[in-house]
Structure 1
Amino acid sequence: MSEYGCKVCRVLDDYGMNRYEDQLVEQWQADGGQRKGYRQLSEWFNVLLLRREMDRAGLSTLGDEAESKYERLRSDEAIAKEVATELANAGLPINQIRDDFVSYGVIRTHLKNCLEKEVSTSSGEWERDAIEISREHARGKISEAFRSLQNKEKVTAGGDVSVSVTAEIECENCHTRVPIDRAIRRGYVCTCNK
């Protein structure tokens, strides 16, 4: 049995990042538009981990250098391998670091189970979380399928490719279609019932 509640607990301890746990909770419990979802928190956490290790190795992290490296590590296999080799040659244990990157599900487990934290659900937060989890799942599956198509040379791209998933809501009466985020933000899909 592990001495840690989850992977986040272990990574925080292994990398001396425990002081960032409060920031993680604050970003999750922030009000309204300032609040970060699980996917955003996992990306923030992973970039933070990579940045700290790049700093320790004496690599530049000015600007968005760590964010850029992180995104490239998650992209096309050839690009990810190139970046990983570059970082390994600079002295980073990049394979271990990549193994220690956390998913949004692990972040959720850490916040809810290990820390027993909650956010106010009165403003529709669980619904937003469900939408974000569904989007992240779709994004992952689409990325995986697209990489497979690239590997089979069924589709090409001139550079890195990112996947964006937008869910739309349509009123069956007037057929107005809007992105779900916009409908939630403004409080309605259409005005045909007003």
Structure 2
Amino acid sequence: MSGSEEANANKRRTKIARLIDEYGLNGFGEELEQMWTAEKPDRKSLRELAEMVNKRILRSALDDSGIALVSADVDSIYTRLADKEGSSADKTRVRRQLEREGVDVDTLESDFVTYQAVRSFLQKERNAEYMPSENPIERDKTSIQQLRSRTAAVTKTKLEGLDKAEEIDIGSHQVTVNINVYCEECGRLFDVTEILDQRGCDCTESES
């Protein structure tokens, strides 16, 4: 395979597949698949798996730099790098400490993944699919639709009551309730059922 062919092949691979090779995380893909497809309470969510991937990458980078740490230290460093807790000063201090130890922090942070990247890896590279006994999307979509119907019914009743009491003057009318989701990443507006049916905004696919 030529250099250009190899580069194109790497581009077609998902981010996590590339990271597993780059960081020597042999067997980690199978581990992620098993944790995602397990039955509750052993099953891990995509967000939990993303955090596990990031911590594993962090530990590998620290090991390569000769930094001996226990799991608690890795958790603490990741928490600060990911801005989950603490101040920006804490993050800056941790970054400088790691850089002094020879860690390329910019590359490390760019290698951190999101839950969308985990899902893309599991579905495209592992051909994995989680099939819960109850579809949570359909369940919650039904609940939202019921809430929307109840809101419309209550609003109509209130309007008719005010009209009857001559507090307002309204003729024949209909009440509709729209629930929209605005994606702050790309600026698109979706009906809530649309965003559920397509399992999110497709602008997140670029992360994979």
Please give the range of the TM-score, normalised by the shorter of the 2 chains: 0.5 to 0.7
The equivalent residue for 1:117 is: 128
Q: 2:77 aligns with which of 61, 69, 72?
A: 69
- The structure-2 alpha-carbon separation of the partners of 1:127 and 1:31, relative to structure 1 and needing over 3 Å to count, comes to farther
Look up the SS of the partner of 2:27 in the other structure.
helix
* Structure 2 CA distance for aligned equivalents of residues 72 and 34 of structure 1: 27
Match for residue 81 of structure 1 among 92, 95, 118 = 92
Measure how far apart 1:39 and its partner are.
0.5
Contact 2:98 2:105 (8 Å CA) reproduced: yes
Find 1:38's aligned residue among 46, 55, 66: 46
TM-score by length of 1: 0.61
Highest RCO, 1 vs 2 (Cα 8 Å, sep ≥ 6): 2
Q: TM-score, normalised by structure 2?
A: 0.57
| Residues 1:105 and 1:128: Cα distance change in structure 2 (over 3 Å) | farther
Figure out how many residues of one structure are paired with residues of the other and give that number.
Answer: 131
Gaps of 5+ in 2: 1-7, 142-183, 185-208
Contact between 1:37 and 1:129, CA under 8 Å: does it hold in 2? no
Out of 46, 53, 56, the position equivalent to 2:64 is 56
Query: 2-side partners of 1:129 and 1:14: how far apart?
Result: 39
Question: Structure 1 37/126 Cα, relative in aligned 2: closer, same or farther at 3 Å?
Answer: farther
- Name the CA distance, whole Å, in 2 between partners of 1:119 and 1:111: 10
Higher Rg: 2
Helix, strand or coil: the match of 1:32?
A: coil
Amino acid in the other structure paired with 1:89: R
Relative distance call for 1:117 and 1:128 in structure 2 (3 A) is farther
Displacement after TM superposition at 1:17 (Å): 1.3
Q: Which amino acid aligns with 1:96?
A: T
Unaligned segments of structure 1, at least 5 residues = 131-140, 142-194
Match of 2:118 in 1: 107
